Amino acid sequence: MGCESSRHPQLYLSYFDMKQPQVGDFEVCASSGCRKLSQLAYTAYEWETICTVFESASTSPADERERIKIAVATMEQMIGTKNGTSGDAARNHHLGDSKQLDCIAEAANTTVALLLFGK
């Protein structure tokens, strides 16, 4: 049961006062601890680019995980360009920088991404 949780993703988002994400209107954390939020939207072209990763059927669970990893990374690159978090360093270095994300912000943003995949 490793990562299984009985918590509903929307409860997780409500902890950070984030609304239910829609492709054209969503919020992501823009600072460590999710103290700042950015209100963003994907253009039709951006969303099509993200969805392209899933066009063909996955060939295995490992393939599916790899595709999710690529799609989330693509989403983070697009978001970083829009809200200034593109310089986010790996790990929790430079937490004094207001645009540095920590594991809390990354988890919240990944939850938003996963919810958007279901749209």
What is the residue extent of each domain of the chain? 9-117
Residue 54 CB contacts under 8 Å (≥ 6 apart), including other chains: 67, 71, 117
Per-residue pLDDT of the chain in tens (119 residues, 90 and over written 9)? 344 445 566 676 788 888 899 999 999 999 888 889 999 999 999 999 999 999 999 999 999 999 999 999 999 999 999 999 988 777 666 555 577 888 889 989 999 999 999 87
- Its sign, for the CA torsion 91, 95, 106, 77, is negative
pTM value? 0.83
The residue among 33, 39, 17 whose CA lies nearest residue 97 is 33
| Residue 40 bridge partners (DSSP) | 26
**Phi–psi pair at 22, nearest 5 degrees:** -125, 150
Question: Residue 106 in 3-state DSSP?
Answer: helix
